[in-house]
Amino acid sequence: MSSETINTNLEQARCFHASRLPQYRLPFGARPAGSSVDLFFDCAEGITNITLCYTYGLYGFSYHEEPMHRVASSFRYHADLMLPDEACLLFYWFRFNEETEEGIKTFYYGAGWDTRDGEGQIYDCPPRVGADEDKYPYAFQITVHAADFKTPDYMKGSMIYQIFPDRFARDIDFDFDKMVNAAPRSERVYHEDWNEDVDIYGKPETGYLACDFFGGSLLGIAEKLEYIKGLGIDILYLNPIFEARSSHRYDTADYLNVDPILGGTEAFVRLQQKAQTLGIKIILDGVFSHTGADSKYFNKFGRFEGTGAYQSYRDDKESDFRSWYNFYKDEEGNINYDSWWGFPDLPNVNEDDLSYRRFIFGEGGVVKTWLGRGANGLRLDVSDELPDSFIRQMRRTIKSATDGEGMLIGEVWEDASNKCSYGSYRDFMLGNTHDSVMGYTFRHNLLDFLCGYISADIMDTRFEGFRERYPSEAYYCIMNLVSSHDVPRIMTMLSKPEDTDNREIQREFKVSPKDYSRCALLSQMAYAFQIAYIGASCIYYGDEVLMQGYKDPFNRRTYPWNRLTDRQHEALTFVRRLSHLRIDNTCLRTGYYKTLLAEGDVIVFERYLVEGKDFFGKEGSGARKIVFMLNRSSEPKYISVEDSYIETKAELIARPDHPIPIRDNIILGGKDHGVSELSIGGYSVRFLIY
């Protein structure tokens, strides 16, 4: 780094460090255990006693400090930090003394917030990093992951399709009476008409219990696999399919069998076999923090044969499942038990109980049974409510049963690299538990930008922060989503609805005609961003045809087969076309990444290969580089990207209402070649392919 650059930084601040610039931290980002990192700190004349402070650990932390050494420039200080030999989190900051009017005073230089290159700021007190502390002032973070952390290559940059099984497709032999009689429950509501809206009332005697069924089945999914494959899908993620009382099936009744309404276990085998012939892998949703009260394990209502844990406690009988749950009696002698978020239908499981672990991980247990039936991995429901040791055992079990090729995805809504829960940092991104997590942070960041709440530079800064903190093996697998079964659909969110928990209001909400075109274009732009950005691109069923839906259960409506409008058909064509960009070009799946411009309404970045190889050193195919441009504004923008010379062989304007023109030798930026301005239309994206 030149002394001129250092002086410029010091004109703006009397000391400087930026964690995402190689001049200040090298190498970039999360690092393997036992490796080294070079840290540099610039400070103005008169600053003394420059010290590197750091603390590392996970469940417990040790604090250390060491003086930094002056390098050739009188303004630079350096420390060569050997990282811990075990996976952990390491936080660091700088301490120094400076003469003030009040005498010599000690200051601290820690991380900033939403700063472009990870530059920090000066504080009067040291950063706070304790799991239960308010994390201000901020510290710089290095995620120290296991040296052998490896995720399946097919996950990296994959295309995922998420299905809520009851609402995707009935099979051609659907029989309404057969559905009703498959597993009768008095509280259930059955829809004979596939196009009816979801129920929000339930039976009068029970109220709403999420127990309405439309008869979507695994065979129905199997019959639509060609449609799914046409979207470029590599991986199918199914919300729970195990037998349960509710239609969402997060209240598991039998871990080892598919719900009869979905067609039973044989239907899964047939689905898996057909998916395999099409090159589609399957992830199942595993719910292990709790079961259903109406299950063969708890059996509160006595609907299953044998003695469940509830009868065992109530009647003082033996049960193989008694130790899985925690029971107690209140002052009146009523039976109570720990349950998930206080819902009595979802009794919590004690995941440290060894008989429960044997049932989940042992021979003939849940994990090995489903892997043996052809599942390729699991998505863990509420990962942050499972003990780290449980998830580590889950990962080891999956990997050992699949020669390392099985997937484990966690439901984590926040930054998984430094997630705290139950009084501790969690072992989520260190290479011991998950391969990766669901991309709710991706969704939040992208929607904030498309809705106009943040600018492109803030969005990019936040994405760069995640890229810095997540190990690359995990970041290239993160399940980037914009909708799911737990959040409103993107079309609905882009219309900025008033927040309400009133289900009757939610049911009636629809994007207004005057907003529909704008929301549709922004929704498709979000998908284009998913295609271009790092990670796995996940479509929630129906988003490809602009389905709407507010909170649960309206985000779980039935797919509108044979009822698509012309606009929905156009949207579907758009998604299919863009999906093949990623299929055909390695650089969009596993290529390197660089932001070229992030300002106001416009973001421009490139995905590229180096000497024909991707980020992981594997040979790539297709374009050697693709530049992605997005303008969220309705107004055209004229942009230039300095210091970047881009000569394209073809330009794809990815807008559903445009043909695909091909234009040669477009130049974007480049000081040595002159700067030509390129316009990007309102509500549009471009892929510059070469």
Same-domain pairing of 545 and 646: no
Give the chain's mean pLDDT.
92
Q: Answer whether residue 306 shows pLDDT above 60.
A: yes
Phi, psi of 630 (to 5 degrees): -140, 135
Is 584 inside a domain boundary?
A: no
Q: Answer whether residue 676 shows pLDDT above 90.
A: no
Confidence at 8, pLDDT banded by 50, 70, 90 = low
Q: Answer whether residue 647 shows pLDDT above 60.
A: no
Give which of 341, 291, 252, 250 is closest to 556, Cα–Cα: 250
For 418-465, the pLDDT digits (tens) are: 999 999 999 999 999 999 999 999 999 999 999 999 999 999 999 999
For residue 570, CA distances in Å to 126, 260, 565, 656 come to: 55, 36, 9, 6
Is 13 inside a domain boundary?
A: yes
Q: Answer whether residue 587 shows pLDDT above 90.
A: yes
| Alpha helix stretches (DSSP H) within 534-636 | 566-584, 586-590
Q: Answer whether residue 410 shows pLDDT above 70.
A: yes
Give which of 251, 263, 186 is closest to 217, Cα–Cα: 263
- CATH code for the domain of 172: 3.20.20.80
Cα(26)–Cα(36) distance, integer angstroms: 9
- Which single residue is written with the structure tokens 């900025």? 496
What are the beta bridge partners of residue 480?
Answer: 439, 537
Is 140 inside a domain boundary?
A: yes
For 81-95, the pLDDT digits (tens) are: 999 999 999 999 999
Mean pLDDT of the 591-619 span: 96
Q: Answer whether residue 669 shows pLDDT above 50.
A: no
- The secondary structure of 86-106 as a DSSP string is S-EEEEEEEEEEEEETTEEEE
Task: Using the 3D structure, point to which of 305, 324, 349 is the last residue of a domain.
Answer: 349
Cα(311)–Cα(314) distance, integer angstroms: 5
Give which of 223, 248, 238 is closest to 173, Cα–Cα: 223
Q: Distance between terminal CA atoms of the chain?
A: 32
Instruction: Please give the angle made by the CA atoms of 496, 501 and 503, to the nearest 5 degrees.
Output: 100
Same-domain pairing of 298 and 281: no
Confidence at 688, pLDDT banded by 50, 70, 90 = confident
Q: Answer whether residue 659 shows pLDDT above 90.
A: no
Give which of 442, 438, 482 is closest to 462, Cα–Cα: 442
Contact predicate 604/639, CB 8 Å: yes
Same-domain pairing of 189 and 238: yes
Q: Answer whether residue 670 shows pLDDT above 80.
A: no
Tell me which DSSP letter residue 544 carries. Answer: G
Same-domain pairing of 393 and 467: yes
What pTM did the predictor assign?
0.93
Cα(247)–Cα(262) distance, integer angstroms: 10
- What pLDDT sits at residue 641? 59
Q: Answer whether residue 185 shows pLDDT above 80.
A: yes
Cα(190)–Cα(212) distance, integer angstroms: 6
Is 219 inside a domain boundary?
A: yes
- What pLDDT sits at residue 654? 39
- What pLDDT sits at residue 648? 37
Amino acid making up residue 436: S
- What pLDDT sits at residue 585? 95
Mean pLDDT of the 284-293 span: 98
Tokens describing residue 369:
């049974």
Cα(25)–Cα(18) distance, integer angstroms: 7
Q: Answer whether residue 472 shows pLDDT above 50.
A: yes
Tokens describing residue 579:
């999906």
Among 70-79, 233-242, 346-355, 454-463, which is the least confidently predicted range?
70-79
Q: Answer whether residue 522 shows pLDDT above 80.
A: yes
- The three-state DSSP-derived secondary structure of 331-351 is CCCCEEECEHHHCCCCEECCC
Confidence at 9, pLDDT banded by 50, 70, 90 = low
Is 585 inside a domain boundary?
A: no
Is 26 inside a domain boundary?
A: yes
Q: What share of the chain is helix, strand, coil (3-state, %, to 5)?
A: 25, 25, 45
- Non-local CB neighbours of 20 within 8 Å, separated by 6+ positions: 28, 117, 118, 464, 468
Task: Using the 3D structure, point to which of 518, 548, 579 is the last residue of a domain.
Answer: 579
Cα(291)–Cα(252) distance, integer angstroms: 5
Confidence at 680, pLDDT banded by 50, 70, 90 = confident
What are the beta bridge partners of residue 595?
Answer: 605
Q: How many helices (H) and strands (E) does the chain have?
A: 17, 37
How many domains does the structure of the chain reveal? 4
Is 185 inside a domain boundary?
A: yes
Same-domain pairing of 566 and 492: yes
Stronger pLDDT, 203 or 636, i.e. the higher one: 203
Q: Is 79 helix (H, G, I), strand (E, B) or coil?
A: strand
Same-domain pairing of 447 and 540: yes
Same-domain pairing of 309 and 280: no
- What pLDDT sits at residue 690? 82
Same-domain pairing of 241 and 254: yes
Amino acid making up residue 573: T
Tell me which DSSP letter residue 59 carries. Answer: S
Tell me which DSSP letter residue 558 carries. Answer: P
Q: Answer whether residue 655 shows pLDDT above 50.
A: no
Q: Answer whether residue 679 shows pLDDT above 70.
A: no
Confidence at 673, pLDDT banded by 50, 70, 90 = very low
- What pLDDT sits at residue 643? 44
Cα(296)–Cα(148) distance, integer angstroms: 40
Same-domain pairing of 370 and 501: yes
Q: Order across the sheet with 684-689: list the strands.
A: 592-599, 602-608, 625-631, 684-689, 650-653
Same-domain pairing of 488 and 401: yes
Burial class (CB in 10 A: 0-12, 13-18, 19+), 519: buried
- The parent domain of residue 326 ranges over 290-349
- What pLDDT sits at residue 571? 95
- CATH code for the domain of 667: 2.60.40.1180
- CATH code for the domain of 137: 2.60.40.10
Q: Answer whether residue 323 shows pLDDT above 90.
A: yes
Mean pLDDT of the 650-677 span: 32
- Which single residue is written with the structure tokens 């994007």? 511
Cα(27)–Cα(537) distance, integer angstroms: 27
Stronger pLDDT, 8 or 139, i.e. the higher one: 139
Cα(600)–Cα(633) distance, integer angstroms: 9
Task: Using the 3D structure, point to which of 145, 174, 199 is the last residue of a domain.
Answer: 145
User: Within a 10 A sphere around the Cβ of 521, how many other Cβ atoms?
Assistant: 23
Mean pLDDT of the 275-301 span: 98
Share of the chain above pLDDT 70, in %: 92
Mean pLDDT of the 398-418 span: 97
Instruction: Please give the angle made by the CA atoms of 84, 85 and 89, to the nearest 5 degrees.
Output: 45
Pairing of strands 335-337, 252-258: unpaired
For 195-229, the pLDDT digits (tens) are: 999 999 999 999 999 999 999 999 999 999 999 99
Q: Answer whether residue 165 shows pLDDT above 70.
A: yes
Contact predicate 571/655, CB 8 Å: no
Amino acid making up residue 590: T
Q: Answer whether residue 642 shows pLDDT above 60.
A: no
Is 526 inside a domain boundary?
A: yes
Amino acid making up residue 242: F
- What pLDDT sits at residue 421? 93
Stronger pLDDT, 559 or 688, i.e. the higher one: 559
387 CB-side CA count, 13 A? 10
Same-domain pairing of 295 and 373: no
Please, what's the largest Cα pairwise distance for the chain? Answer: 86
Active site residues: 381, 411
Same-domain pairing of 607 and 626: yes
Q: Answer whether residue 584 shows pLDDT above 80.
A: yes
Among 159-173, 215-229, 493-507, 670-684, which is the least confidently predicted range?
670-684
Instruction: Please give the angle made by the CA atoms of 582, 584 and 585, to the nearest 5 degrees.
Output: 65
| Alpha helix stretches (DSSP H) within 309-403 | 309-315, 354-361, 366-372, 388-401
